[in-house]
Amino acid sequence: MKPVVISTWKHGIDANKAAYDILSKGGNSLDAVENGVKVSEDDPTVLSVGYGGLPDADGRVTLDAAIMDWKARVGSVICVENIKNPISLARLILENTEHMVLAGDGAYDYALKNGFKPQNLMTENSLKRYNDWKVSNKKGPEEIHTDDFILKKTKKEINEDGNHDTIGMVAVDKNGHVSASCTTSGMAWKLHGRVGDSPMIGSGLYVDGEVGGAASTGRGEECIRAVGSFLIVEMMRMGLSPKEACRVAVQRVVKLNLLSSKNRDHIFQVGFIALNNKGEHGAYSVRSGFQYAVFENGKNTLYDSEFLIDEEYIIEDL
């Protein structure tokens, strides 16, 4: 029953509260998804988003964010530094420019010209983690991003190391209007300049006002390859439920990973959430451990997502 907001991971619970507060007072979904994910951007204990997000290999915190509404209006920022709320910068691009995406210094300059204040986004904790990583990293920062970075992780670490818990959010308001947002500091210790799925329309998030919206979390490279969020919205357009549509996208992610990866291990996590304009929602992930939060009918609930990899399936069938 509308309004509904869905978001990724446990920190989605607090983000949902802010979003639902707006929705329950009759506010629109665009305001809801902007102000919802700002809660995670402001929270220094969330190590993958905004203030306190873990830095890249050069010790620089670089943020990606995007927002999209039911009228196909888009704003996106890529690799922006020292701006605590990139989602609001993305919203400003959506509202005030003829463009959709601003990157790096250009995004930063545009922010300052429009009243954003520069801020050091490193915290004591993120600096300590970075220094620990530098000491423990025997191979140098570039190699850590290749196979070892992924292969040495256990299933538990894949979900809990703070590297892949981007917040994505989709909301439908009382008028049935859907919007989505996505914001992240990206993969920890990434090469400087690396950009994930979150600011890429169609990958990190997508909305079609006639259908609904979707957003992703996890290893952005895999989601980009599958253009996962767009795929989910198109599957919902064809009549699939949000959960079924997310499952199709997860299958595509795994299939393309198998096709492209020399390791063929697919030890990574990608999770999708989706919400249609009737208020029906669902999620699916590659591996176990993905959680998502749903606020509907006045109740905010954290769910365990269904997942693909530990299911019995034949790879050739994917």
Strands (E), 222-298: 270-276, 281-285, 291-296
With binding defined as CB under 6 A, does residue 40 bind ligand GLY? no
Active-site position among 62, 166, 183, 217: 166
Name the 3-class secondary structure at 238.
coil
Distances (CA, A) of 18 to 15, 81, 181: 5, 25, 14
User: With binding defined as CB under 6 A, does residue 196 bind ligand GLY?
Assistant: yes
**CB proximity list for 313: less than 8 A, separation 6 or greater:** none
Q: Is 166 an active-site residue? A: yes
What are the C-alpha distances in Å from 254 to residues 87, 167, 226?
29, 21, 9
**Binding flag, residue 305, ligand GLY (CB under 6 A):** no
Here the tokens at position 154 are: 């256990």
Selected range binding ligand GLY among 68-76, 183-191, 206-214, 285-293, rule: CB under 6 A = 183-191
Q: Is 254 helix (H, G, I), strand (E, B) or coil?
A: helix
Does 198 interact with ligand GLY (rule: CB under 6 A)?
yes
Q: Judged by CB under 6 A, which stretch of 24-32, 149-157, 218-226, 279-287 contacts ligand GLY?
A: 218-226
Among 220, 228, 242, 282, binds ligand GLY (CB under 6 A): 220
| Per CB under 6 A, 184 contacts ligand GLY | yes
Contacting residue, 34, 69, 173, 197, with ligand GLY by CB under 6 A: 197
DSSP H or E run through 180? strand 178-184
Helix/strand/coil for 218: strand
Which of 75, 86, 162, 218 is the binder for ligand GLY (CB under 6 A)? 218
Q: Could you check whether the bond before residue 44 is cis, i.e. omega within 30 degrees of 0?
A: no
Q: H/E element holding 75?
A: strand 74-80
| Longest pairwise C-alpha distance within the chain | 55
* Phi and psi at residue 174, to the nearest 5°: -65, -20
Judged by CB under 6 A, which of 85, 159, 183, 217 binds ligand GLY? 217
Closest approach of ligand GLY to the CB of residue 44, in Å = 19
Residue with smallest beta-carbon separation from ligand GLY:
196
Shortest reach from residue 191's CB to ligand GLY, in Å: 12
Token pair of 134 as six digits:
């530098």
**Nearer Cβ to ligand GLY, position 23 or 101?**
101
| Binding window for ligand GLY (CB under 6 A); candidates: 75-83, 84-92, 179-187, 305-313 | 179-187
Nearer to ligand GLY, 69 or 197 (CB): 197
Is residue 285 a contact point for ligand GLY (CB under 6 A)?
A: no
Instruction: For 219, list phi and psi in degrees, rounded to 5.
Output: -70, 105
CB of 178 to ligand GLY, least distance (A): 21
Instruction: Say if CB 222 and CB 200 are below 8 A apart.
Output: no
Residue 29 binds ligand GLY (CB under 6 A) = no
Binding site for ligand GLY (CB under 6 A): 166, 184, 186-187, 196-198, 217-220
Active-site positions read: 166
